Amino acid sequence: MAGEFCDLTNVEKSAFLEKGIEDHLRLSCQIRVNADVTVRPIMTVENSGVDTGPRPAE
C-alpha cells in the first residue's frame, strides 16, 4: 500500500493476532485515508481460506 494513512489501530492489531496474520498488513475497513492511496489486496476470501463471518445487518 502506498500513500498517507494513520498508524495501525488496536482493532487491526487484535485481528491480526487472533488470525495469526503478519502485522505489516492493513485492514482496508480500518484505515482513515488522508490522501490518495494505492491498495493491493493480499488476503481475499478466495486465496486465504479465512472465514468472512456474517454480513452486517442493513
Binning pLDDT at 50, 70 and 90, where does residue 24 land? low
Share of the chain above pLDDT 70, in %: 84
Domain region containing 10: 2-39
Any domain includes 51: no
Any domain includes 49: no
Total domains in the fold of the chain:
1
Any domain includes 30: yes
Any domain includes 24: yes
Any domain includes 57: no
What pLDDT does 23 receive? Answer: 59
Any domain includes 32: yes
Q: What is the pTM of this model?
A: 0.43
Residue 46 phi/psi, 5-degree rounding, is: -65, -35
Any domain includes 29: yes
Question: Is residue 7 within 8 Å of residue 30, measured between CB atoms?
Answer: no
What pLDDT does 20 receive? Answer: 78
> Strand 33-38 vs strand 2-5: parallel, antiparallel, or unpaired?
antiparallel
